[in-house]
């Protein structure tokens, strides 16, 4: 009787507010198959959907799978796999990791969705293995947060709050933040805040940049506010962690090169006034997150 070969495939699942996506990854980090399904509300539905989409990518044969990794919004305890407050999916408290493990029979690991995307982007940009050194992933989505990776390992910090730069209260307009503070960077340069500051288009950022280039006064003022806050965010991450690569991700990063151009112009403006900043050459470290790869699911798989 021949020995059963050890399972080498990994599954990563990216839980979003509107969709849940899974990717099947081989031992070389290659994506073999992806599937996505609409997200549903409620604790039971979320677990059902994670298990269902994971089953789709492995044709229901979890014996071939070594681990299931999950990237999710909410407050994640990456050690226990417990998740609180996935607001967009109506989840208050959920033992996500243990329940998925129970249903699939495969070890499951849960990460914050930004952390998962950070690791996934570092792996994709590294050609299958994570970029070396410290990599920062700035997620300009509904909120603003950073994922930090060092030599392929996620950095969580003592309480799991590493990278929560969006709630540093240094923005001078002092807008009220849902977290209770005033002046959080997230109140100006997250995707949701840009949509609030520039409600005339959806998505807001491409239109804002386009109108500012036409020298429309209101657009110039709003873009200046947003880009200064992005510059502050980049400086905080760069000067505290000194990453070799700073990846721009989240919905706002889909703006593409025009976003990189306005950020680069802001960083160059700052460099012109400060030799120290000029020596860091931050614009050379900027990269856009890959748009053609499921980086959240890939990162979740690699982290598991």
**Are residues 108 and 166 both part of a single domain?**
no
- Domain finish residue from 117, 146, 168: 117
Q: What share of the chain is helix, strand, coil (3-state, %, to 5)?
A: 45, 25, 30
Residue at 302 is within a domain: no
Could you give the maximum distance between any two Cα atoms of the chain, in Å? 77
Residue at 180 is within a domain: yes
CA 198 to chain centre: 23
Rounded distance, CA 297 to CA 304, Å? 11
- Structure-token pair, residue 68: 């299931």
Q: Which domain holds residue 99?
A: 9-117
**For the domain that residue 23 is a member of, what is the CATH number?**
3.30.420.40
162-215 pLDDT, tens per residue? 999 999 999 999 999 999 999 999 999 999 999 999 999 999 999 999 999 999
**Are residues 140 and 77 both part of a single domain?**
no
Q: How many CB atoms lie within 10 A of CB 207?
A: 15
**Are residues 137 and 222 both part of a single domain?**
yes
Rounded distance, CA 280 to CA 286, Å? 12
59-95 pLDDT, tens per residue? 999 999 999 999 999 999 999 999 999 988 999 999 9
pTM of the shown model: 0.94
Q: How many CB atoms lie within 10 A of CB 291?
A: 10
* H-state helical runs in the chain: 43-57, 96-104, 113-125, 186-189, 191-197, 204-213, 217-241, 257-271, 275-280, 295-303
């Amino acid at each position: 009787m021949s020995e059963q070969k050890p399972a080498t495939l990994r599954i990563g699942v990216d839980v979003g507010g509107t969709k849940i996506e899974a990717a099947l990854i081989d031992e070389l980090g290659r994506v073999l198959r992806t599937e996505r399904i609409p997200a549903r509300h409620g604790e039971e539905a979320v677990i059902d959907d994670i298990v269902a989409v994971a089953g789709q990518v492995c044709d229901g044969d979890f014996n071939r799978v070594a681990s299931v990794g999950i990237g999710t919004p909410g407050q994640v305890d990456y050690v226990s796999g417990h998740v609180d407050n996935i607001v967009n999916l109506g989840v208050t408290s959920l033992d996500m990791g243990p329940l998925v493990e129970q249903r699939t029979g495969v070890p499951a690991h849960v990460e914050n969705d930004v952390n998962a995307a950070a690791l996934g982007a570092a792996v994709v940009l590294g050609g299958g293995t994570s970029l070396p050194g410290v990599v920062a992933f700035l997620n300009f989505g509904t909120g603003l947060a950073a994922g930090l990776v060092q030599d392929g390992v996620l950095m969580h910090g003592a309480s799991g709050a590493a990278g929560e730069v969006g709630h540093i209260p240094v923005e001078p307009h002092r807008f009220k933040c849902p977290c209770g503070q005033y002046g959080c960077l997230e109140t100006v340069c997250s995707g949701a805040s840009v949509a609030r500051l520039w409600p005339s288009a959806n998505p807001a950022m491409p239109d804002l940049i386009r109108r500012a280039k036409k020298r429309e006064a209101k657009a110039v003022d709003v873009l200046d506010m947003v880009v200064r806050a992005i510059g502050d965010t980049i400086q905080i991450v760069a000067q505290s962690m000194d990453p070799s690569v700073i990846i721009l991700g989240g919905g706002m990063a889909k703006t593409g090169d025009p976003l990189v151009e306005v950020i680069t112009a802001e960083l160059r403006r700052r460099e012109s006034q400060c030799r120290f900043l000029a020596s860091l050459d931050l614009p050379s470290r900027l990269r856009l997150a890959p748009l053609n790869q499921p980086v959240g699911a890939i990162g979740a798989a690699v982290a598991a």
